Amino acid sequence: MTALDQIREILWPSGDADRPWSPDTLDAIAQIVKATELRPTKVVHGKLRCPDCKRNTEFKYYEDIMNYRTVRGIENGVLVIEGFYETDGSDDGENPRLCCQSCFGDFALPKAVEVDFV
């Protein structure tokens, strides 16, 4: 069973897409996603190539960094949250990956290259 099949079975066990999801359900999904290993992006003739759509396209670098906003409180029944956010102070995010801008698939960084932030 693929990770996607596992997710579908957890989210819609009876095929009912209107059923709300519990926090336990969402935690189970997060565990499957974290355990799924991404296929690496390919490097062909010195350029990145998507392993799915096979295009030498633009890629975006993503990483998971914890951002937070200050909660001011409740005013007139509305939760008021600061518009600006801050990060958790960590320089390195978790789960680094490349996203192909043609097919929007996420892939692991190529194994044979170094990463340099400029």
pLDDT tens-digit profile, the chain (118 residues):
666 677 777 777 776 667 777 777 777 777 776 666 778 888 888 889 998 888 888 999 988 887 888 999 999 999 999 998 888 766 667 788 899 999 888 888 888 788 888 8
Dist. CA 21–CA 50, nearest whole Å: 33
Beta-carbon count within 10 A of 89 CB: 7
Residue ranges of domains in the chain: 1-36, 38-118
CA dihedral 105, 110, 113, 115 (to 10 degrees): 40
Strands 71-75 and 78-81, by their bridges, are antiparallel
Pick the closest to residue 107 from 29, 49, 26 (CA basis).
Answer: 49
- The span from the CA of 38 to the CA of 52, in Å, is 12
pTM of the model: 0.56
* 105 three-state secondary structure: coil
